A and B are shown apart, each in its own frame.
Chain A
Amino acid sequence: MDRKKKLRIRLAWYLLLTAGLLIIMLFGEQLSPHDPYENNLLKIDQPPGAEYWFGTDQLGRCLFSRILTGARSSLSATFAVVLVTAVLGTAAGVIAGYYGGPVDRLIQKLLLIIQSFPGQVMAIAVAGVLGAGVKNAAIALVSIGWIPYARMSRSMVLKIKESNYIKAARLCGCNSGYIILRHVIPNIGSVLFVTAMLALPGTMMEISSLSFLGLSAKLPTPEWGYMMNEGRKVLMTAPWQTLIPGGAILISVIILNRLGDSVQEYLEYRTGSI
């Protein structure tokens, strides 16, 4: 009881922090004290201070406002990528595992082909071919990100496919679609959910590194990774322009990481205690 409570409190705490991130993501632009797009050439490279909390960049734009506004592209891309990869990967894995035969072999081959490329390199290549833009970077990450879900769900489906309750359902005349949705997915759902939660911080890092390379941000839309790249030029004279977006990425990644851990531990404990 005590441990469960502790886990619950921790989970609640990180859910709260994640909610904070979501609020910044959704309303960041409205919360900005200054126009994040407005150049003010009289106030370029200002260090953090009372008027500009995080200082200004090389074109005199308020960094605090840009961080808040940039949260939308950085974070929403992260959540979208994880959601889409999880859904696509699971669908592919379940279909492969449940139906087997040629469908399974086809999907397996596809998995092997994509897996034989180094992930980040493949993402850079795909993003490079598609051109700059958050959407394209997300597509690039989805194209490699669905693999683990597909493998995992396939192996789990293979296992439960032979279990008695599936056989019973089939004997009762349930069709495959119903069995998958009603019996298969709920049984593998929690594991995949935890996997998705744990994938959040990594995806965030990948999005940020793609945009650091100039592959995801579409100027002048602020994006944390690209802001770091812009600040890199003045690293010696105005280090805050790199450190602050870097800090934003760091904090978000830590929050998402701890959230993933808490969810996993909580679910493990709960299933363990049932």
Chain B
Amino acid sequence: MKKRILTMLLASVLSASLLAGCGGFKESAANTEKGTEETSESTQADAGEKHLNMAYHSEIKNLDPAASSWETKRIGVGENLFRINDDLQLEPWLADSYEQVDDLTWKITLKDGIKFSNGKELTGEAAKACLDRTCEKNQRAVTMLNIASIEAEGQTLTITTNDVNAALLNNLADLVGTILDVDTLEGENAIPVGTGPFVIASMEEGKMELVANKDYWDGVPKLDSVTIKYILDGNAQAMALDNGEIDLAFQLPTENIIQFMDSDKITVTSNTGSRSQILYFDYTNEFLADHSVREAISSAIDREAFANVINKGNSEAATAIFPVSFSYGKVPGVSYDVEHAKKLLADAGYKDNDGDGVLDKNGKALSFNLYTYGEHGTLLATFAEAIQASLKEIGIAINIETNDYDAHTNILKAGGFDLALNSYIMAPVADPQYFCDIMLRTGADYNYGKYSDEKVDELIAQLDKEFDAVKREELAKEIQAVEVEDCGFFTLGHLKYQIAANNKVSGYSTQATEAYILTKDTDIAAE
């Protein structure tokens, strides 16, 4: 009898803990309490020090720009020759001046007297070594920079490109152009050293400690130290922010952002971003190679409702490829029209012959796999389900496969996936050429669906060579118009970029390129 009561108790305790994920809830609440104690202890120990606790939504394992790491720039450790300022204009950063010698050659002079935080001088040679190494190891760098050779002489770098690359300077502001001390990049547990306002003091399981770079070339950083805590779950981040365990979080899921909208101790800054949700069509699929199927799918998805209702206004519906708020973004796209979608499919000969609610042709059902991954506030997973329901309306069956990001990317690389839903930052360097080069061009690195259009390729080639800003925008619009005509991809919308921070914190970057967060001006007010 005793045993039975015990079983009964155990079962109800277990189910109660399943209930509402309460087990996790209580546990993390307990953890955070402990965390606050710890923080207050450490604040006491370093009385008068300005310390910031920041959350990071993933475990930072690799900081190497050659492995496409964004992190050193975001946390104020690494810097580039150029940067994008808050008006989304390019400006020199580590570079002092630049000069275009001819179409293929650029001469960049570095500022004098800049040192890496380990005391090494930043010379042309040091910058060259880092850029050469990244270009050697990283395909993204090869595509974006297209560098043939770099000559270093004193503080001067002479960069020669293989083809005309009008966006070279912008692309040097991308993560692949981060300048770090190459000697600190190799090895299993390498801790990179840069020129930025912060220095990585330690990397541990679950967190990273930064201290101010007292010799920073652009003035003394206002903060003394920073702890970056890896908190993978959105709700846990929100709770940590709410109870003061962390002072700043970025890229919070929509639900948690809404939670802080009316808070009087947390400030949410929101910027129109270029982080997109984009649907790949796999051109190797016989049905998806059919234009009318792609157009029908594009017409059946109500982007406005996805952005404003499902994502509760936390993203902007797209029309073509780029965000509608961009100067080159307002290109008319396929409009939402379910009847039109049905008609397209009917005209193309798709009929429901077996009466199962799914259209078919030549004995094959119009049924696709839709691959996605569960990151970025799990918005993609919710959108995938909404797409599944939208396409059911027009008689297309969708089978959703959710994987983690690496597995997902491997499936896309292997091809034959049918449909895939991804999230990309489309303009990390505030220029359209980046996304055209990596995504839209025939054979581009991320063009997993194998979309190919001669006209688009030709226009991108022109864009690569065009130096005039106005003409570049025109070209970007033309490229999108052709792509919309083809229904080559389908951009659902662009997520707003939000940072939620304690009111005490100031001076952090909220730029929607998502490339910068901590700066020398980041500050935290005393209690």
**Interface residues in chain A, defined as those with a beta carbon under 8 Å from any beta carbon in chain B:** 37-39, 41-42, 44, 58-59, 132, 198, 201-202, 205, 208-209, 212, 214, 218-220, 225, 228, 232-237, 239, 242-243, 246-247, 249-250, 253-254, 257-258, 261, 264
Bitwise, B356-400 to A at CB < 8 A (1) or not (0) is 000000000000000000100110001011101110100000011
**Interface residues in chain B, defined as those with a beta carbon under 8 Å from any beta carbon in chain A:** 4, 7-8, 11-12, 14-16, 18-21, 25, 234-235, 238, 253, 255-256, 258-259, 302, 305, 309-310, 374, 377-378, 382, 384-386, 388-390, 392, 399-402
Measured in the bound complex, the distance between the Cα atoms of B393 and A38 in whole Å is 10
Instruction: Tell me whether A37 and B392 are in contact in the complex, defined as CB-CB below 8 angstroms, given that A59-B386, A205-B11, A254-B12 are known contacts.
Output: yes
Chain A to chain B: the 6 pairs with minimum beta-carbon distance, closest first: A246-B19, A39-B389, A250-B15, A41-B309, A219-B400, A41-B305
Do residues B19 and A250 form an inter-chain contact, with CB atoms below 8 A? Answer: yes
Instruction: Tell me whether A236 and B15 are in contact in the complex, defined as CB-CB below 8 angstroms, given that A39-B386, A220-B385 are known contacts.
Output: no
Measured in the bound complex, the distance between the Cα atoms of B64 and A75 in whole Å is 49
Measured in the bound complex, the distance between the Cα atoms of B137 and A102 in whole Å is 58
A236 surroundings in chain B (CB, below 8 A): 235, 238, 255-256, 259
Do residues B11 and A253 form an inter-chain contact, with CB atoms below 8 A? Answer: yes
Least distance between B368 CB and chain A CB atoms (Å)? 14
Main SS class of interface, A: helix
Do residues A237 and B258 form an inter-chain contact, with CB atoms below 8 A? Answer: yes
Instruction: Tell me the nearest residue of chain B to A205, going by C-beta.
Output: B14
Instruction: Tell me whether A234 and B255 are in contact in the complex, defined as CB-CB below 8 angstroms, given that A44-B309, A205-B11 are known contacts.
Output: yes
A37 surroundings in chain B (CB, below 8 A): 389, 392
Measured in the bound complex, the distance between the Cα atoms of B255 and A254 in whole Å is 32
A233 surroundings in chain B (CB, below 8 A): 234-235, 253, 255, 377-378, 382
A264 surroundings in chain B (CB, below 8 A): 4
Do residues B382 and A59 form an inter-chain contact, with CB atoms below 8 A? Answer: yes
Least distance between A270 CB and chain B CB atoms (Å)? 17
A219 surroundings in chain B (CB, below 8 A): 384-385, 388, 400
Partner of B310, one of A41, A212, A249: A41
Least distance between A117 CB and chain B CB atoms (Å)? 20
Apart from A41-B302, A41-B305, A232-B235, 19 more pairs, CB < 8 Å: A38-B389, A39-B389, A41-B310, A205-B11, A205-B18, A218-B399, A219-B388, A233-B253, A233-B255, A235-B20, A235-B25, A236-B256, A239-B20, A246-B15, A249-B15, A249-B18, A257-B11, A261-B4, A264-B4
Least distance between B297 CB and chain A CB atoms (Å)? 16
B25 surroundings in chain A (CB, below 8 A): 235
B19 surroundings in chain A (CB, below 8 A): 242-243, 246-247, 249-250
Least distance between B22 CB and chain A CB atoms (Å)? 8
Least distance between B377 CB and chain A CB atoms (Å)? 8
Instruction: Tell me whether A235 and B21 are in contact in the complex, defined as CB-CB below 8 angstroms, given that A59-B310, A250-B15 are known contacts.
Output: yes
Q: List 5 A-B contacts (CB under 8 A).
A: A220-B385, A236-B238, A250-B12, A258-B8, A264-B4
Instruction: Tell me the nearest residue of chain A to B384, going by C-beta.
Output: A219
Do residues A228 and B305 form an inter-chain contact, with CB atoms below 8 A? Answer: no
Measured in the bound complex, the distance between the Cα atoms of B381 and A59 in whole Å is 12
